[in-house]
Amino acid sequence: MSASLNSCPVLSALLIDISGTLLVGTAPTTGAARALARLRAARVPFRFCSNTSKESTQEICRRLAEASIHVLPGEVWTSVGALKGVLKDAAYRHRPYTLLSPSARAECLGIDPGTTNDHSQDNSIDPYDAVVVGLAPSVLDYEHLNTAFRILVGEHENEKRRGDPSSLSSASVTTQRPPLIALHKARYIQASDHALSLGPGPFVAALEEASGTRARIVGKPTKLFFETVVKSFGDDTLSLALTEMVKGTVTSDGGGKDGSEAGRRGRIAVIGDDVSADLGEGAVELGLWRVLVKTGKYRAGDETREAVVPPDEVCESFADFVDRFLDQGRFF
């Protein structure tokens, strides 16, 4: 059963979370595959948006396929993929110190996952030029976090110079501190035993506090991530819909405030199980229709927690939302 905190608008596209919304561990949520089949049959544009940083985009697609949820090329957008784009665009970042799983690191750096090693075993004297943090439990320990901290405050490079004075060349001198880049800052995730476990957020916050550096977040719920995914539809109408939502020229029913057809493009919705990590910040700023599902990491009362913007709609599951959305004729 769905509950709407506001009048439900017509929708023109959907951004769908994966972990906790479509999958819980390796199992699909009830009715997820059927619901996606309904969306495809109705020709509703959608994209899958995942902050999962323990595995590569390819592994996420494989898990979906094993759960009978088949995806098409270009439909899956992840924080790992977003990081790859950031590192590619910032050409000066040739040697990031990465607290990532082997498969995620391989995707970001474009290397063979079989040859990856964590940077604490790297004996190169070249300085690191960024610190990257995702959810990688095996390397989120004191040794690795302390190395990341020393890199951020410029102490790690000094340690190497003390051991090798010949490295004091002008080429090795950095003029600014390396940036801290985080795939996301979710405080917790739902583990395979269905209990909550620490996400990367507390570790990122610890590095921010200790180093005095503010992390750049590349995944959900940043505005840039959602904007990039919407652009992937290749539909000018959807891009215009997003612009109108930001400007506030779209009413709750998806129409224009002035009654014009120009505004009647429908809203874009984002569906997830975490009111903050899936539906916060950029989703609010962009005016997305924010749908919270009661699966995955959802816990009773999440939608009314202090310091969060309440979701626009609350549903028992992703399948429940899709049935309500299509049965009520809300697709624009």
Report the chain (332 residues): mean pLDDT per 10 consecutive residues.
69 96 92 96 96 86 92 90 81 79 86 58 68 92 95 76 50 68 88 84 96 94 92 73 58 50 71 95 95 95 91 97 95 84
Helices then strands, each counted (H, E), the chain: 11, 15
Which pLDDT score is estimated for 30? 96
Which pLDDT score is estimated for 123? 52
Residues 6+ positions from 221 with CB-CB distance below 8 Å: 276, 277, 278, 279, 280, 281, 282, 283
Residues 60, 63, 69, 73: is their CA dihedral positive or negative? positive
Give dist(CA 217, CA 99) in Å, integer. Answer: 14
Which pLDDT score is estimated for 52? 83
Strands 188-190, 196-198: parallel, antiparallel or unpaired by DSSP?
antiparallel
Give dist(CA 238, CA 219) in Å, integer. Answer: 21
Residue 258 identity (one-letter amino acid)? D
Give tens-digit pLDDT for 33-61: 999 999 999 999 999 999 888 888 888 99
User: What distance, in Å, lies between the first and last C-alpha atoms of the chain?
Assistant: 22
Give dist(CA 223, CA 269) in Å, integer. Answer: 14
Which pLDDT score is estimated for 120? 43
Give tens-digit pLDDT for 63-122: 999 999 989 888 999 998 888 888 877 655 678 999 998 888 888 887 766 655 555 445
**Strand-pair partners of 77:** 49
Give dist(CA 131, CA 223) in Å, integer. Answer: 22
3-state secondary structure of 55: coil
**Strand-pair partners of 189:** 197
What is the CB neighbour count within 10 angstroms for residue 113? 16
3-state secondary structure of 132: strand
Which pLDDT score is estimated for 87? 83
Which pLDDT score is estimated for 104? 87
If phi > 0 it is left, if psi is from -120 to 50 it is alpha, else beta; for residue 220 that is beta
Which pLDDT score is estimated for 173? 47
